[in-house]
Amino acid sequence: MEIKMAKDYGFCFGVKRAIQIAEKNQNSLIFGSLIHNAKEINRLEKNFNVKIEEDPKKIPKNKSVIIRTHGIPKQDLEYLKNKGAKITDATCPYVIKPQQIVESMSKEGYQIVLFGDINHPEVKGVISYATNQALVINSLEELQEKKLQRKVALVSQTTKQTPKLLQIASYLVERCTEVRIFNTICNATSYNQKAALDLSKEVDIMIVVGGKTSSNTKQLLSIAKQHCEDSYLVEDENELELAWFKDKKLCGITAGASTPDWIIENVKQKISTI
């Protein structure tokens, strides 16, 4: 099978940084899943003895704690600080930005509209910085049911797609007197998405490598499927199915922002032998 890699794929700046932080802080606890990739988490635990703890109450006093890449709710951060935790913050700087925007805009009296998935840790963290009742919507349809104020500030989960943010922005501009729009979508995400879109137009099959709980990986799959029906998401090479490649000549590969190079390499090697 012939293989073509996407122009941009894999680890973003924030994830690379978080992994370096974890490797430098051996024997720490990580509050929540550092990145959305179970295999890389296992590697860090095995090689550097950094363990994940989801429940802040179970974190011992004065323990060294790493804050996950997606950030955590403000209340949890304060709880850990009060407990005397030695905190190393691996929150991606591109996530700290919307946290700060939500805090300052809600203090200035703007209604916050956060375009994101309410169940995603990043969104839970960002929205916790609002000082008033904020709206979290994951689609234009969800927004249409909400009551809007005259002055609105719009921020986005970093992994969202720009065209959808623009639709939401347009809807608000038509209805509100003032809309402050902060484009907090991360370039790394959009570069990977653009590259996946381009590649999907020229291949017979697309393999997206990444965690099944990773928001940006799932989006890469959805983008790839627009032009290449035969697109599949795998966490590693063991999930590849031979039947997918029947009668196919050219296979495109892309990978989510939390997929380590060593997993992508394994997938690539296995496909090349098909």
Catalytic residues: 122
**What distance, in Å, lies between the first and last C-alpha atoms of the chain?**
6
Closer residue to its own copies in complex, CB, 177/273:
177
Q: How far is the CB of 166 from its own copies (least distance, A)?
A: 4
Kindly tell me which of 64 and 161 has the beta carbon lying closer to its own copies: 161
Q: Shortest distance, CB of residue 77 to its own copies, whole angstroms? A: 25
Shortest separation between residue 51's beta carbon and its own copies, angstroms = 37
Nearer to its own copies, 105 or 134 (CB): 105
**Hey, what amino acid is at 224?**
A
CB of 168 to its own copies, least distance (A): 10
Neighbouring residues of 15: CB distance < 8 A, sequence distance ≥ 6: 35, 69, 92, 257, 258
Per-residue tokens: 186 = 């991360």
Contacts with its own copies: how many residues (CB under 8 A)? 15
Nearer to its own copies, 171 or 245 (CB): 171
Integer angstrom CA distances of residue 128 from 73, 102, 134, 192: 5, 9, 9, 28
Answer yes or no: are the C-beta atoms of 114 and 156 closer than 8 Å: yes
Q: How far apart are CA 173 and CA 152, in angstroms?
A: 9
Span 162-201, contacts to its own copies by CB under 8 A = 162, 165-166, 169-170, 173-174, 176-183
d(CA 178, CA 235): 44
CA-to-CA distance for 274 and 271, rounded, in angstroms? 5
Residues 240-259 that bind its own copies (CB under 8 A): none
> Residues interacting with its own copies, by CB under 8 A?
162, 165-166, 169-170, 173-174, 176-183
